[in-house]
Amino acid sequence: MSHPQEEFREFVKISAASLHRTAYLLCGDWHLANDLVQEALAKTFRNWQRVQRADSPDAYVRRILINESNRYWRRRPNRAAQLDAAQHEPITPDSSDEIVDRSELLRALLSLPARQRATVVLRYLEGLSEQETAAVLQCSEGTVKSQSFRALNTLKTFFEREELPI
Amino acid sequence: MTTETEQRLSEALHDIVGTQPFEPDLASIERRGRRLQRRTTAARSAVGLGVVAVLVAVGLGAATGTTRPGTTHNHQAVGTQAPLPQAKGPLMRLADYIRANALGRSATQPS
């Protein structure tokens, strides 16, 4: 096995779980998240030399993943409509209130515009700084701040309404 | 500074994703990556060939002096062009040689 291939495999081993989590919160479906991560990693493999030369290979790959997710939503507007309809369905209480709350939060997250959703996931799931988030999304730190502010405002109403148990 | 909402959101997001196992299919990723690579190479080659074809077409057009319709050039009319000096063929050169030799002999021969 060639040296770059070994490095690629090592990179996949380290970052796959984190990419998978990010993908899930971007699309709300574990199976779709699998596909998005596989495709993003295939594109990473194709451009592996360029990825290695990048200032932050991790940011580069996250950008590929977010672009893949956005492309998916653009190609399948029906899926977005289904999701939209699902958001208005009444939630049946489950055996655990916590599960209902998670589902509610996920819906609230998925109802955010794509950029705000990506900002929330990178900042509050992956714990990236504003600077790192801006590097992934290829925008200014000011944009990250404003997107976070708007997203938090939307989600804050959810927290206040639901008083989500943590 | 992290606000309370940010803190709660972060914890709730971690709670949602939990510890879902994920085992990437490396063989499939690399196979798909190679296929994408080949497709990119083929697309780039096609673009390169297209550019070469256009350049050749433009070059040929310029060499044969063809102009696009609608363009104006101050070309002389065909009938008024001065005849180009033409290179002599081998037969013409032979005729010249014989004529020159014949004239030279007749000039040096005593009558």
Q: Which domain-ending residue is among A60, A75, A90?
A: A75
User: CB–CB of A143/A116 below 8 Å?
Assistant: no
Has residue B37 been placed in a domain? yes
Please check whether residue A108 touches B, CB under 8 A. Answer: no
- B68 falls in which pLDDT band (50, 70, 90)? low
The yes-or-no verdict on residue A91 having pLDDT over 50 is no
Rounded Cα gap, residues A73 and A16, in angstroms: 22
What is the SS3 assignment for A75? helix
Q: What pTM did the predictor assign?
A: 0.69
pLDDT tens, B20-31? 888 899 999 999
Q: Give the gap in angstroms from C-alpha B84 to the nearest C-alpha of chain A.
A: 59
Does any CB of chain B come closer than 8 Å to the CB of residue A5? yes
Residues A91 and A136 grouped into a single domain: yes
Looking at the structure, tell me whether residues A47 and A88 fall in a common domain.
no
CATH of the domain at A152: 1.10.10.10
Asked if residue A153 and residue A87 are part of one domain, the reply reads yes
Which of A126-130, A161-165, B40-44 bottoms out in mean pLDDT, i.e. has the lowest? A161-165
Q: What is the mean pLDDT of chain B?
A: 77
Instruction: Assess if residue B52 is contained within a domain.
Output: yes
Q: Using CA atoms, how far apart are residues A18 and A26, in angstroms rounded to an integer? A: 13
Structural domains in chain A (count): 2
Q: Which of A49, A75, A101 is the last residue of a domain?
A: A75
Asked if residue B21 belongs to a domain, the reply is: no
- pLDDT tier for residue B100 given thresholds of 50, 70 and 90: confident
For residues B76 and A115, which has the higher predicted lDDT (pLDDT)?
A: A115
Closest alpha carbon within chain A to B36: A46
Its domain, for residue A107, covers 79-166
Q: Which domain holds residue B39?
A: 26-64
- Of the ranges A34-43, A81-90, B9-18, B78-87, the best mean pLDDT one: A34-43
The answer to whether residues A94 and A41 belong to one domain is no
3-state secondary structure chain B: CCCHHHHHHHHHHHHHHCCCCCCCCHHHHHHHHHHHHHHHHHHHHHHHHHHHHHHHHHHHHHHHCCCCCCCCCCCCCHHHCCCCCCCCCHHHHHHHHHHHHHHHHHHHCCC
Query: Is residue B49 in a domain?
Result: yes
Over residues B33-37, mean pLDDT: 92
**A77, pLDDT greater than 90:** no
Mean pLDDT over residues A150-166, rounded?
A: 73
The mean pLDDT value of chain A amounts to 84
Query: Would the pLDDT of B72 be above 60?
Result: no
Query: Chain A residue with minimal CA distance to B13?
Result: A125
pLDDT tens profile A16-36? 999 999 999 999 999 999 999
| A46 and A85 belong to one structural domain | no
Question: Is B43 part of a structural domain of the chain?
Answer: yes
Q: Say yes or no to pLDDT of A1 above 90.
A: no
For residue B60, is it within any domain?
A: yes
Last residue of a domain, one of A52, A75, A98: A75
* Chain A: closest CA distance from residue B53 (Å): 29
Same domain flag for A101 and A127: yes
Q: Is residue B93 part of a domain?
A: no
Are A152 and B16 a contacting pair at CB < 8 A? no
Indicate if A55 and A121 belong to the same structural domain. Answer: no
Residue of chain B nearest A18, judged by CA positions: B22
For residue A159, give the chain B residue with the closest CA. B5
B41 in reach of chain A (CB within 8 A): no
Residues A67, A87 within the same domain: no
Chain B CB within 8 Å of residue A158 CB: no
Chain A partners within 8 Å of B18 (Cβ): none
How far apart are alpha carbons A111 and A84 in whole angstroms? 7
- Taking the CA of residue A84 and the nearest CA in chain B, the distance in Å comes to 20
- Residue A54: CATH number of its domain: 1.10.1740
3-state secondary structure of A55: coil
pLDDT tens, position by position, A39-71: 999 999 999 999 999 989 999 999 999 999 999
Q: What value does the mean pLDDT take over residues A98-110? A: 78
